[in-house]
Amino acid sequence: MKQVNLLDHGYLRYIDHMGGDIDVVRAARTSFDAAWRSGEDEKNDRGLIRYLMKNGHSTPFEMVTFKFEVKAPIFTYRQWHRHRTQSYNEMSARYTELPEEFYVPGIEVIGVQSADNKQSRDITPGQKLTGDEELKLHAIRKLMFEANSASYEAYQELLKRGVARELARSVLPVAMYSKMFVTANMLNWFRFLNERLHHHAQYEIRVYAEAIASIIQEKCPVSYEAFEDFMRKT
């Protein structure tokens, strides 16, 4: 299984998929009882896929599904779960004790609150920092680490005192890592990517979207190309 390591402790692991580009064209051609023609002419098949995407005939793309295992910070899941067309099963802190793994961003992605976008921050990758700027960012990162560590210590203390896991978890921060399995058809993955590959998407979910995009592109190159050309927002 292909795994892409992300952030400081996270990953996206490809589990499996069902179907491919050929299934998209078969589904489309079954409308006029010509599914048997699929696979005979790659140029025509590619043309049909591109026609479907360009003209919003989207249901044939639902014939392909992808499943992933994801390890990510809980606050990333809070954004991810807004995509209600996906199926999720997440690790539960009611049943298992969470390990001491929480997300602390590198200084290069801490950024500052955007002046013109209330929901995001400004990040300039590769930006040269002065010595004072770098010291300030390291101090911020240290503060984040210490706050998360203190919360985890409180969690451990509550467990030692016999507090139920389902209640002890209430002191944990949203930077804690969790795991989930997620499945969706390719059309709904494209809708997810349309939002989460966008340059305004939060960095911590965008890196997962980029990993998903690379896998779908590998498995269904014609459909992914059509998505990039006709559906994707920049």
Known catalytic residues? 196
Q: Tokens 């489309």 appear where?
A: 28
Q: Which helix (DSSP H) or strand (DSSP E) does residue 52 occupy? A: helix 42-54
Query: Angle 42-54/21-29 helices, nearest 10 degrees?
Result: 80
Which contacts of 32-37 are long-range, i.e. CB under 8 A and separated by 24 or more positions? none
Q: What is the CA radius of gyration of the chain?
A: 21
| Nearest-5° Cα angle at 20, 17 to 23 | 120
Residue 172 structure tokens: 């944990």
Per DSSP, helices labelled H in 62-185 are: 74-80, 131-160, 165-168
| Residues whose CB falls within 8 Å of the CB of residue 58, separated by 6 or more in sequence, listed in order | 52, 187
